Amino acid sequence: MDKIDSIDYISRIKNLKRQKNAIILSHYYQTGDVQDIADFVGDSLALSQKAASNDADIIVFAGVKFMAETAKILSPEKKVLLPDINAGCTLADSCRAEDFSRFIGENPGRTVITYVNTNVDIKVLSDIICTSSNAVQIVESLPENEKIIFAPDRNLGNYILNKTGRDIVIWDGSCHIHEEFSLEAILELKKTYPDAKIIVHPECKLPVRMIADFIGSTSALLQYTKSDKSNRYIVGTERGIIHQMRKANPSKDYIPAPPKDSTCGCSECSFMKLITIEKIYKCLMEENPEIIIDKDTVAKARKPIIRMMEISEKLGF
Ligand code: SF4
C-alpha cells in the first residue's frame, strides 16, 4: 500500500464508502480516530441492531470477530469485513463448543442464555443471546421457575443471578480486561479523588462491583456520565469509552480504573486496538478479510439473536 498520511486515509475511506455503498460500525472500545470515522458507534446490542436495519452492501466492522460474525448472521446477504481477522476475544475463546456442549449435557432441562461475546458455534447451541444492556431484563422476561444456563462471563452471570435471584448455572469464563481491575488500586485512587464516582461494567469482579456508585453496560455508563451531576468518574471498563464521554461532556474528568499491575496497560483491549484507520482503508479497498459463515450455521445462530431482539423490542430497548 502507498505511504499516505492519515488525512488521506480518511478522505479515501469516505470515497470508498460512497462508491461501494459501505458503512463502518465501530464499538466503543475502538481508538478515538476509528470511532470518529465510523457511521455508527455503539455497544454490541446497538451495533447488532444497526447491522440488521441498514441498507448498505458492505459493513466494515471496527470491533472484534464475534461482533462481525453477529453482523453477518443478521445480514447474510451483505458483505461483512473485519479489518484485522486476528481481532479475537479472550472471553469468547474461554468457551469452546465441544466443552460447552458437554456442560449443557451435564445440566439438562435449562434454557441456554449466552452473552453476545461468544463465537458463532456457541450461538448455535444457545436459546437466547443477550448483551450487558439487556441481560437482566431478558432473564426476568422468562417464567420465574425457568432454569437457566448462562455463559460465558462468570462475573456478568453472577451479577444477573444477584439481580434476579433465578436458578442459574454459570460457565466459568471471563474477560481479562474487566478481571484485572484492582479493588485496592481503585480505593487508593478514590482517596486522591474523593469526589469521583466509581462506575463499572458488570463484567467486573464482585468486590469491584460492590464499591461502585453505578453498574451498567458501556452505553449505560456513557448515558450515566451524561445525565449525572458529578464532575469526575473512575471508569471501570475498557478505556475506549472515555472518548465518547469526553465528546459528550469535555469539562468533566474521566479516570480509567487502574488494573492490578499499573505498568501493563490492561484496561486497553489489545484485540480491539488491532483495528486501525489504515487497516480499515485496506480492507475496504480489497474487500478482505471477509467474514464467511455457511448458510446452515447462519440460520441456526440467527434464531437466538432474533429472540433477543424480539424480547428487547417488547421491553422497549
Ligand atoms: S474487552 Fe474483553 S470481552 Fe471485550 S473484546 Fe476485549 S477481551 Fe473480549
How remote is the CA of residue 170 from the centroid of ligand 1, in Å?
18
CB atoms within 10 A of CB 171: 24
- Residue 317 has what pLDDT? 77
- Residue 3 has what pLDDT? 53
Q: How confident is the model at residue 260 (pLDDT cuts 50, 70, 90)?
A: confident
Q: Does residue 117 have a pLDDT over 60?
A: yes
Residues 6 or more apart whose CB falls under 8 angstroms from that of 80 comprise 51, 58, 59, 61, 68, 71, 72, 290, 291
The tens digit of pLDDT for each residue in 159-193 reads 999 999 999 999 999 999 999 999 999 999 999 99
- Residue 263 has what pLDDT? 61
- Residue 35 has what pLDDT? 97
The tens digit of pLDDT for each residue in 8-64 reads 899 999 999 999 999 999 999 999 999 999 999 998 778 878 888 889 999 999 999
Ligand 1: does its nearest atom lie under 6 Å from the Cβ of 89? yes
Q: Which set of grid coordinates corresponds to residue 4?
A: 499516505
How remote is the CA of residue 299 from the centroid of ligand 1, in Å?
26
How remote is the CA of residue 254 from the centroid of ligand 1, in Å?
20
Q: How confident is the model at residue 205 (pLDDT cuts 50, 70, 90)?
A: very high
Mean pLDDT computed over every residue of the chain? 94
SS3 annotation, 228-256:
CCCCEEEEECCCCHHHHHHHHCCCCEEEE
Ligand 1: does its nearest atom lie under 6 Å from the Cβ of 117? yes
The tens digit of pLDDT for each residue in 242-252 reads 999 999 999 99
The tens digit of pLDDT for each residue in 50-78 reads 888 889 999 999 999 999 999 999 999 99
Q: Does residue 4 have a pLDDT over 90?
A: no
How far from chain centre, in Å, is Cα 110?
25
Q: How confident is the model at residue 262 (pLDDT cuts 50, 70, 90)?
A: low
Mean pLDDT calculated for residue range 233-238:
97
Q: Does residue 199 have a pLDDT over 80?
A: yes
Q: Which set of grid coordinates corresponds to residue 114?
A: 449466552
- Residue 174 has what pLDDT? 94
Give one word for 133, left, alpha or beta, with left for phi > 0 and alpha for psi -120 to 50: alpha
Q: Does residue 6 have a pLDDT over 80?
A: no
- Residue 52 has what pLDDT? 80
Specify the residue with its C-alpha closest to ligand 1, atom 8: 89
Contacts 24+ apart (CB under 8 A), 111-114: 111/142, 111/146, 111/147, 111/148, 111/149, 112/148, 112/149, 112/151, 113/138, 113/139, 113/148, 113/149, 113/150, 113/151, 114/150, 114/151, 114/152, 114/304
Q: How confident is the model at residue 264 (pLDDT cuts 50, 70, 90)?
A: low
Q: Which set of grid coordinates corresponds to residue 117?
A: 461475546
How remote is the CA of residue 113 from the centroid of ligand 1, in Å?
19
The tens digit of pLDDT for each residue in 129-148 reads 999 989 999 999 999 999 99
Atom of ligand 1 nearest to the CA of 175: 2
Ligand 1: does its nearest atom lie under 6 Å from the Cβ of 271? yes
Give one word for 280, left, alpha or beta, with left for phi > 0 and alpha for psi -120 to 50: alpha
Percentage, residues of the chain above pLDDT 90: 87
Ligand 1: does its nearest atom lie under 6 Å from the Cβ of 177? yes
Specify the residue with its C-alpha closest to ligand 1, atom 6: 269
- Residue 288 has what pLDDT? 97
Q: How confident is the model at residue 281 (pLDDT cuts 50, 70, 90)?
A: very high
Mean pLDDT calculated for residue range 204-232:
97
Ligand 1: does its nearest atom lie under 6 Å from the Cβ of 269? yes
